[in-house]
């Protein structure tokens, strides 16, 4: 990287390790598909409280959609990635690749 090159900006909402793991996992779902909160929690090996905190941040950014409903009398929470979230993850991925590529020529 030359002194005139600016390092790409990394989205701080996605950059946190736990939120990046959430986003990558949700990106594997088809557009419009959703996953139940307990399944996502188990898949990521996170506690319910920790996952909830990170999902709130992602929801506030408009990257995920949280849908609370009932299956019979049992409350169920579903999580899906929004179009905005998919675009944000794509931009984040490009920024990381650019950062890594620019460091590739340096010892």
Contact by Cβ (8 Å): 77, 67: yes
Sheet holding 74-81, edge to edge: 35-36, 74-81, 64-71
Tell me the per-residue pLDDT of 25-43, one tens digit each, with 9 for 90 and over. 999 999 889 999 999 999 9
- Given the DSSP bridges, would you call strands 74-81 and 64-71 parallel, antiparallel or unpaired? antiparallel
Alpha helices, DSSP H, located in 1-107: 12-15, 17-27, 37-44, 48-60, 83-103
Contact by Cβ (8 Å): 78, 59: no
The structure tokens 């929801």 sit at 59
Tell me the per-residue pLDDT of 67-100, one tens digit each, with 9 for 90 and over. 999 989 999 999 999 999 999 999 999 999 999 8
- In order of their start, the domains of the chain are 12-98 (1.10.10.10)
* pTM for this model (two decimals): 0.86
């Amino acid at each position: 990287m030359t002194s005139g090159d600016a390092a790409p900006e990394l989205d701080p909402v996605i950059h946190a390790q736990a939120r990046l793991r959430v986003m990558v996992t949700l990106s594997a779902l088809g557009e419009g598909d959703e996953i139940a909160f307990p399944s996502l929690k188990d898949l990521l090996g996170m506690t319910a409280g920790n996952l909830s905190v990170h999902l709130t941040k992602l929801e506030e950014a408009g990257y995920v959609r949280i849908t609370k409903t009932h299956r019979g009398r049992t409350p169920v929470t579903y999580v899906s990635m929004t179009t905005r979230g998919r675009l944000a993850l794509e931009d984040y991925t490009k920024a990381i690749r650019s950062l890594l590529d620019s460091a590739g020529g340096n010892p």
